[in-house]
Every structure is written in C-alpha cells, then in structure tokens.
Structure 1
Amino acid sequence: MKLIIQIPCLNESATLAVAIGALPRQVDGFDEVEWLIVDDGSTDNTADLARELGVDHVVRHPVNRGLATAFMTGLDTCLRLGADVIVNTDADNQYEATDIPLLTSPILAGQADMVIGARPIDETEHFSWIKKKLQRLGSWAVRVASQTRVADAPSGFRAISRETAMRLNVFNAYTYTLETIIQAGRSNLRVLSVPIRTNPDLRPSRLVKSIRSYVQRSLVTILRVFAIYRPFFLFFWPSIILSALGLLAGIRYLYFVIIGDGAGHIQSVVFAALCLILGAITLMMGFLADLIATNRKLMERIDVRVQRLEYSFREQPLNHVKQKPDVHASSVAKPGT
C-alpha cells in the first residue's frame, strides 16, 4: 500500500520547510509514504527548496493556474505514481501532520471514500468572529447540497482513496474544497468527517482575501455544482414559482371578468401569459439540463474505466509524466534528478 501526501504550493519558500519537516515517513497501514509538491507557478525558489528538503516528487506549473487546478494536477500525478491513498494538506503547516492517520484509517478500514479533517473552528484564535460564523454557515450549505455530514467543508486537510480520486472533476479554478464534497456526495461516495488539530498561523490566508469575496465565490461555486449535479431541481422550483404567479394573475383576471370589470385589467392577462411562458421555458430547460447531466454521468463512468486501464497497465517513469498531452504539469522530478 502506498500513501502519497501532496501539497499545492504558491511562493511558499518561507513556510515550506516547517510544513515538510512535520510530515511523516511512516503511517500505519502503508508500506510506502511519499511526498509530492505541486508548484503552481511560484516566482520564488519553492520547487528547488522542496527538492533540497527531500521531497520525493515535484510537479511545476509554468504559470499560476489556481488552487483547484494544482489540486487536480496533484491527484493525476499521484495516480500515475501508483498511490492507493492520497492525503492533501497545506504548505503553511495549518494542519497537524501527526493527525494524518486519523484521515487514512477510515479509508483503510473500508468505511469511507473521502475523509475531511474538521478543524476546531471555535477555538482557532486567528479566525475572526464573522469568519467563524461564515465557516459554519458555508459548511451547513455544503451539507445540504451534498447530503453529507461534513463539519468543516472548506478544510483542505483530507484523504482520498484511489478510486475516488479517479472520479473527481473540478470545474472551478478558485478552490476545490466545496465542489469535491458536493460532487462526492451526489455521486454516492462515502464522505466522512473527523476532528483534527491545527497549528498556529504562519501567514494570512491567500484564499480568503476578503470575507465578501469569499462568500460570493463560495455561493457561485455551490450554485454551479447544483447546476451540474442537480440541474432539474435547480430549474424545477423557479418554474413552479413562475407558473404559480401566472395562474394567480390569470385567476385574478377571470374574477374581474366575472364581475364585469375585465376591460381595466388587461395587464393581468399579459403578466399571466409572460409568467406561464417563462415557467414552461424554465421547466423545459430543466429537462434538457437533466438529459445533459445524464450524459455527463455516462462520460464520467467511461473516464473512470479509461483511467483504470491507463494506471493499471502502464506504470510510467516520472520523466514520462510531462510528455502526456493531457497532463497539467510542465515538469515532474525527483530530488537529485
């Protein structure tokens, strides 16, 4: 059994040594534990420092492509390297690395496909009061959308089984945390949440530049994921509301016609017709989106089968990874190569 611990990085030379120094080389249940750094277009010496620190594999994007893309590059590389379980953590040493067995043990026991580390948000001193409340609210929204019991949805400290990694697809370049949970829940994958510890803050968060921006981006992400994975539900209720308004306006006009005052309420007919037409169009859009979503599910199944064949029958040397036309990274190397 092989475990690969991956860390997406962007200009992390100031904190990377601390994060790498805390990573384990032995984890219960695994014969091999390797480290992977995904350098997302850093302009400092993050990649060189990672090699000096003894990181097994370094993948580098030539330009910054965003956290979500770096995360997916890491998953793809880990699968090519034969990982049975993948642990994702941060380069700022936010999460306590000794808690990695808490994430991997449910997967090894066959109890979960993805395990999310739940931070003690209320006890985290560098989180403001409003950020704590928004974290709670965001996690609640993700639980509703994904039908899971994840306590800390924005947490990047997570373990993923090999099979689950092949099923994940992230469409948002901003962050992978919310989208992957909703996707996993809607794909009937087992998502488990376990409490973990955190370390003192080494630097301000780069993802949450402002509370307003983070909330807006998170809401857009949840809405987009709903449109992808539950499109009929997303279009059905607006259709019902529009149709109901149209019917009420039509009934109101009929009432005035019955009492002989219909001539003065022609606007009700126009409003009713508009709402009914829009309701019908919205419902039709829901049916079409649902058919597209069904086709997407079939394509995902084909993609997983192709990946199984690719990763099972072709163990690639690391210097072949950069030659794959569909790989995101520009280079993959081991220390000393």
Structure 2
Amino acid sequence: MRVIVQIPCFNEELTLPATLAAIPRRMPGVSSVEIFVIDDGSTDGTVEVARAHGVEHILVNKANMGLGASFRRGLDVCLRLGADIIVTTDGDNQYEGADMPKLIAPIVAGEYDIVVGDRETDKIPHFSPMKRRFQRWGSVVAGRFARIEVRDAVSGYRAISRDAALRLNIMTSYSFSVDMLVQAGRKNMAVGWVPIRTNEKTRDSRLFKSMWTFIGRQGTTMMRMYAMYKPLRAFLALGLLFLAIGLVPLVRFLILFMIGQGEGKIQSVVLGGIFLVIGIVTVLMGLIADLIGKNRQLLEVTLEKMRRIELDQHGFHSMLVADRDFGRLGDALLRHEKPVTTLEERP
C-alpha cells in the first residue's frame, strides 16, 4: 500500500524543514511513504528547501491559486502517481507528523474512506475562548449538514483513500475542508476521526484575517453546498416564505373588502401580488435547479468512471520534471537531486 503525503505550501521555507522531518517514512501496513509538495506560487525558497530535504515530488503553481485549487490539482497528481492513501497536512508544522500512522490506520484496516485529525481545539492553548466555541459550533453545524459525525470540521490533517479521492470534486478555491466533508456525507462515504496533537503556533493563518471573515467564508461555502445538493428544499423554503408574506396583505384586503372597508386598500393587493409572483418564480427556480442538480450528479458519476478508466489504462512512473516548464500539465515540476523518472504514460 502506497501513501503519498500532500503538503500545499506558500512561502514556507522556515517551517517546512520541521514539517518534513516529523513525517515518518515507515508506517504499519504501508509499503512506501512519499512526500509531495505543492508550491502555490511561493516567492521564497520553499522549493529549494523541499528539494534539499529529499521530497520525491514537487508541483509548482505559476501563480498563487489558493488552498482549495492547489489541493484539487494535487489530488489528481497523487492519483496518477498510484497513491492508495493520500494524507494532507500543512507546511507550517501545525500538526504533529508522528501521529500520521494513527491517522491512516482506519483506512489501512478498511474501516473508513476519510479520516479527519481532531485537534481537540478545546485544549489548544493559543486558541481564544471565542475561537474555541466557534470551532466547536462550526463543526456541529458542518457535521449535521453533511450528515456525518466530525469533531474538527476545518482540520487540514486528514487521510483519504484512493476510492474516496476518485469520487471527490472540490469546487471551492478558498478551502477544501468543509467542501470535502459535505461531499463525503452526501455521497455516503464512511468518515471517521482520530485525536491528533498540534505543535506550537509558528505564524498567523493566511486563510483569513479575522474570525468573522473565517465564519463568513465557511458559512457561504456551506450555504452554496446546501443549495447545490438540496436545491429544491432551499428554493422551496424561500419561495414559501415569499408566498406567506404575499398572502398577508391579500388576506387583509379580502377581510376589509368583505366588511365593506376595502376602498382605497389597493396597495395591499399590489404588494401581495408582487410577493406571490416572487414566491412562485422562486419555487419554479427550485424545480429547475433540482433538475440541474440531477444532471450534475450524472456528470459526477461519468467523471468518476472516466477517471477510473484513465488510471486503469495509463500507469505513471514517479515523477519530477526538470526546470519550471512543465508543458503537458501547464505547470512546473522541479528536478530532484537523485535520478528520477519524467512523468510519462506507460505503454
């Protein structure tokens, strides 16, 4: 069983050495452990550090694409490299690398498709009380929406089986954590969690400037995913709300009209009619969105089958391509110091 540890990095030359040093190269039930660094447009020496510390695979984005986009592209490369388990961690040494065997053990045993590392945020000393509460509440909301039990929904330390990776289609460019859990829950994947340790804080988060920004972005992600997977329910609820608002002035007008006091109340009819039309249109939009959602599900099934056919028919060697001109994939992979094989299709 082959494990590839995927590490998205943006200007992590100072913290990457400690992150790499902590990753165990031998784990129970695993034949090989390889490290894959995704350089997301860094302007420092992140790539040189990775190369100097024996990283097997390095993918360089020409510009900063964001964590979600880097994860999505890295996932495809890991699948082509033949990974049986993909482990994601951060380049800032936030997570304890020594806990990686514990993280992958449930997947090796065939118990789960995805395992999330629970940081036990209530015990992290540099988290403020407010941040701890938000982390706990956010995980509860995300878990209920995804219909799974998860204790740390935004943890980036997680292990993914090959089969699960083939079924995931990350669409957000901000972060992949909540998006992945929602998809996993809606696609009936088995998701588990294990407690993991964290290291001392090395820098502030680059994903958000404040807690409110983080809450807003994650909330937007969950609402978008809800509208995507449950469009009829979302639009129907909104449409019924508009219909109810429209009925209030209309009922008022009818009551006044029946008792002979309806003269001069035409504004109620106009206002009620407007809201009724909006409500009906919203419900119709929900029906159309539901049909589009069914079509999207068919496309996802087709995409998964195409991925499986492509990976079955084409094996790929371990790779690192010389210099920054990675023509066939549009990006650059950098040469490792020891001899490696260029990415190519096997006959």
Please say whether Structure 1 and Structure 2 have the same fold, judged by a TM-score greater than 0.5: yes
1:322 CA drift (Å): 4.2
- After superposition, residues 1-337 of structure 1 pair within 5 angstroms as 1-317=1-317, 318=319, 322-324=326-328, 327=329, 329-331=331-333, 333-336=335-338
CA contact (8 A) 1:61 1:331 kept: no
1:80 CA drift (Å): 0.7
1:336 CA drift (Å): 3.1
Q: Identity over aligned residues, as a percent?
A: 42
Q: TM-score, normalised by structure 2?
A: 0.92
1:114 CA drift (Å): 0.9
1:173 CA drift (Å): 1.0
1:123-170 Cα shifts (integer Å, max 9, x gaps): 111112221122122212211221111111110000001111112122
1:7 CA drift (Å): 0.5
Partner Cα distance (1:192, 1:81) in 2: 25
Corresponding residue for 2:344? none
CA contact (8 A) 1:51 1:336 kept: no
Which runs of 5 or more structure 2 residues have no equivalent in the other structure? 340-347
Partner Cα distance (1:332, 1:43) in 2: 15
Q: TM-score, normalised by structure 1?
A: 0.95
Partner Cα distance (2:68, 2:204) in 1: 19
Which runs of 5 or more structure 1 residues have no equivalent in the other structure? none
CA contact (8 A) 1:55 1:335 kept: no
Partner Cα distance (1:26, 1:307) in 2: 29
Partner Cα distance (1:333, 1:61) in 2: 15
* 1:39 alignment partner AA: D
Partner Cα distance (1:313, 1:264) in 2: 75
* 1:13 alignment partner AA: E
1:21-42 Cα shifts (integer Å, max 9, x gaps): 0001011111111111000011
Corresponding residue for 2:345? none
1:207-238 Cα shifts (integer Å, max 9, x gaps): 23211211111111111111222211211111
CA contact (8 A) 1:142 1:222 kept: yes
Question: How many residues align structurally?
Answer: 335
1:92 CA drift (Å): 1.2
Partner Cα distance (1:284, 1:304) in 2: 30
Partner Cα distance (1:322, 1:168) in 2: 25
1:46-101 Cα shifts (integer Å, max 9, x gaps): 11110110111111111111011111122111101000010000111111112112
Partner Cα distance (1:90, 1:330) in 2: 21
